[in-house]
Amino acid sequence: MRKPSWFNVVSLTLGFAFLYIPMIILVIYSFNESKLVAVWGGFSTKWYGELMQNEAFLDAAWVTLKVGVISSTIATVLGTMAAFVLVRAGRFRGRTLFSGMIYAPLVMPEVITGLSLLLLFIAVGMDRGVATIVLAHATFSMCYVSVVVSSRMASFDESLEEAALDLGCTPWDAFKSVTLPIIAPAVASGWLLAFTLSLDDLVIASFTAGPSATTLPIKIYSSVRLGVSPEINALSTLIIGLVTIGVLVASITSKRAIQKQKRDELLAVH
């Protein structure tokens, strides 16, 4: 092992400082007693208390959560189906268009996706609200899910499935007991990705939300436009905390799952 050079140590330190200092300061100042964001007025959790009393934020959080869970579940089902089509269905008419429609939303500017969906909802006379945000989020996140799942499926040994079919499984049984357990980690991380994309989205939600449904990012955006506030600091700290815990738990469990799978494979060989 080479000794880390000073250049690499400096790059790492500066790089991580750049990424993390803004967020660390935000977290520290969410416990600031003073309303003035730049002045430290002593430790306090009062902004968290005020946040919990703020009906508008709580409502928006509830809408966001609802949209996130429903849209990412739809996206996971559709995205997994699409991954199967991409990897397994072979040739069929319109395949190029299909894969184009899977990859295009990944690079599409959000303003265009949002605008086009809004114009669609208006053209068919759909009232804007939770349902329209769900449809919009499910559409763009299913593409992310299908990319995640199809990359896992591409490295998957099809003969396992064929063996199950030879041994008398119905196609559905073979899918349930062979394919699904193998692609399950990819499907789960696809769901998680779809969920965070939905929680995070401002632009598409702004186009597709109606007056009856406001999501948390829309609410945060409109208050950030007015300037920095301790309440938003508290809210951001909660979100950063939840995401950090989520990512850590997910990375530890997936590491364990991979280790277990390796062990099982070893046992099966012996």
Angle value at C-alpha 152, between 97 and 180, nearest 5 degrees:
100
Closer to another protein at the Cβ: 126 or 182?
A: 126
The closest of 193, 189, 191, 169 to 179, measured between CA atoms, is 169
Closer to another protein at the Cβ: 10 or 184?
A: 10
* Cα separation, 243 vs 150, whole angstroms: 25
Q: How far is the CB of 190 from another protein (least distance, A)?
A: 14
Q: How far is the CB of 92 from another protein (least distance, A)?
A: 6
Q: How far is the CB of 169 from another protein (least distance, A)?
A: 14
Closer to another protein at the Cβ: 91 or 270?
A: 91
> CB of 147 within 8 A of CB of 106?
yes
Q: How far is the CB of 240 from another protein (least distance, A)?
A: 6
Which residues partner with 43 through β-bridges? 32
Closer to another protein at the Cβ: 44 or 84?
A: 84
3-state helix, strand, coil in the chain (%, to 5): 80, 0, 20
Q: How far is the CB of 181 from another protein (least distance, A)?
A: 19
Closer to another protein at the Cβ: 182 or 203?
A: 203
**CA contacts within 13 A on the Cβ side of 3:** 2
- The SS3 of residue 213 is coil
Q: How far is the CB of 118 from another protein (least distance, A)?
A: 8
* Cα separation, 66 vs 243, whole angstroms: 17
Map tokens 């007056």 to a residue.
Answer: 211
Closer to another protein at the Cβ: 37 or 267?
A: 37
* Cα separation, 140 vs 122, whole angstroms: 19
